[in-house]
Structure formats: C-alpha cells, structure tokens
Homo-oligomer: A and B are copies of this chain.
C-alpha cells in the first residue's frame, strides 16, 4: 500500500478543524451549484448558519478566496466568483496542459485498488444522474478528475488541478450550453479502462480529447444567466 495523502485533506492537517469545516461546506455548495456565481456570502449569515464566530468564517472565506472560488472585495464582502470568459479559457488551457500528462502518470502508477475507487466514483455519478441530482453529478465528475491526479502521486500538480476543477465548476455554471448534456459518462468510462490497462499513452489522449470536448460545450459569448440578485445582473 503506497502512502498517498488524500488530496482533499492535504491542507486539513494544519488548518483549524472548524475553519476547514466551513470552507468545505461552502465549497461543496458551490460545486453542487446550490450557490450561484455572484451570490453574496455575508459573514454574519455564515457564522449563524454554522454556529461559529465570524473569525472562523473569515478564515474560511480567505481560504476559498485563495482558490479563487470566492472573490473578496475590500470592505465589501465575499461573493461567489464569476470567472470571465477570458479566465474560463485560461482555466481550460491550463487543464489541457496539466491533466493529460497527469492521466498518463496515473495510468502508470495505478493499482487495482485505485481502479476500484475510480469505478466506484463513476457508479456514484451515474446514481446521481439517475436521481436527476445534476449538482451532485457535477461534483462527483470533478472528484473523478481529482482522484486521477491523486493516483498520479504528484501532490503539487494535483493541488493545481484541484483548484482548476473548482473553478471549472463555476465556469460550467456560467457558460454551459443547455443542449449538450451527460455525454461525459462514456469518456470517464474509457479513461478508467485505459488506466486499468496501465496504458499511459491512451489515457493521455483520452484525457486530452475529453477536456477539449468539455471546453467545446461551453458558450463563452453568451454568459449571463446567473440566477443571483437582479441587481447584480443589471448593474
């Protein structure tokens, strides 16, 4: 059994538990699209919701801001980030640079146990889709990519990918085209197969095409429909 730290808890050890709890909760809500881009995250509100003081909430928000899930405007508060089309392009370019290489590496390192985990992820994803829980399906889809980075055993790059996927969730919330839908399942499935076969070359190619696919289903021109405050849309 190799000693791979869990990516999701990579920062957890050195951050006070409650701060992490709040950060995780908000992060999850954003990933599941329960919090739309642009939504204001008032400190007092969050403090009350989670039963902690503003001190904790502030630390959590700063943590999220560092990962660019949240934008903090001085003296104005924290808001769920709204990546611009330019940022969206950057994020996907970065993913297309990092993830294929990482997928290859994962394919070469993967143990049967790792493959099992990936298959479980896919199963959960399907289950979520079956229940029409699109938010959760999206979250799990992201976790799938993160899991691959973890398997690759390069914590540094995995950390980068994790933040890119987090931002991708926001980008999808903003720029996803209705028409295209759950076309992903197949891509993930064949990717796991390549990894199970330890076929690095194929895993790399599949990941690349998967990302290009994903990128192409975005409509970076017609951004709009953040369901947030009307004010925010009109201003």
Residues in chain A within 8 A of chain B (CB atoms): 11, 13-16, 58-59, 62-63, 65-66, 71-74, 87, 90-91, 93-94, 97-98, 101, 154-157, 160, 164
11 A-B contacts (beta carbon < 8 Å): A14-B71, A14-B72, A15-B62, A15-B65, A63-B66, A87-B155, A90-B157, A93-B154, A93-B156, A94-B156, A160-B160
A164: B residues at CB distance < 8 A: 156
Q: Does A15 lie within 8 Å of B63, measured CB to CB?
A: no
Of the candidates B59, B87, B154, B157, the one whose C-beta lies within 8 Å of that of A62 is B59
Q: Does B74 lie within 8 Å of A13, measured CB to CB?
A: yes
Of the candidates B14, B87, B97, B157, the one whose C-beta lies within 8 Å of that of A73 is B14
Name 9 extra pairs, CB < 8 A, besides A91-B156, A94-B156: A14-B74, A58-B59, A62-B63, A66-B66, A90-B155, A90-B157, A97-B97, A97-B98, A160-B160
